[in-house]
Amino acid sequence: MSRQLKVFCIATAICLSLMICSTNASAKSIAMGTGGLKGVYYPVGKAIAKLFNGKIQGTKIEVLSTQGSVQNIGDLISGKVGLGICSGRCCR
């Protein structure tokens, strides 16, 4: 596993843990912006959701197909999603 992927997975786990710890007792759905259905981000998002769904009681990650990094950042800022996958290049 590449170093970047390890860092990404650890950062995702930390973010999810913080989000889940701050929720109330009711069930919570967290939308995750990924990328196109035929791209790389969508299956990565599905894999992340599979890791966490069912393991954290009362929380479900819903994977959304988006147009990619730029849309995911915009959706995070606007509150449409709680998580989003993006490349480091679009943050420069």
Distance CA 82, CA 20 (A): 11
Give yes or no for a contact between 36 and 68, defined as CB atoms under 8 angstroms apart.
yes
CATH number at residue 19: 3.40.190.10
Q: What percent of the chain has pLDDT over 90?
A: 33
Q: Which domain holds residue 51?
A: 3-91
Predicted confidence (pLDDT) per residue in 42-64, tens digit: 999 999 899 888 777 788 999 99
DSSP letter at 91 equals G
Mean pLDDT across the chain: 81
Q: What percent of the chain has pLDDT over 70?
A: 73
Residue 41, pLDDT > 60, answer yes
Give yes or no for a contact between 32 and 84, defined as CB atoms under 8 angstroms apart.
yes
Q: How many domains does the chain divide into?
A: 1
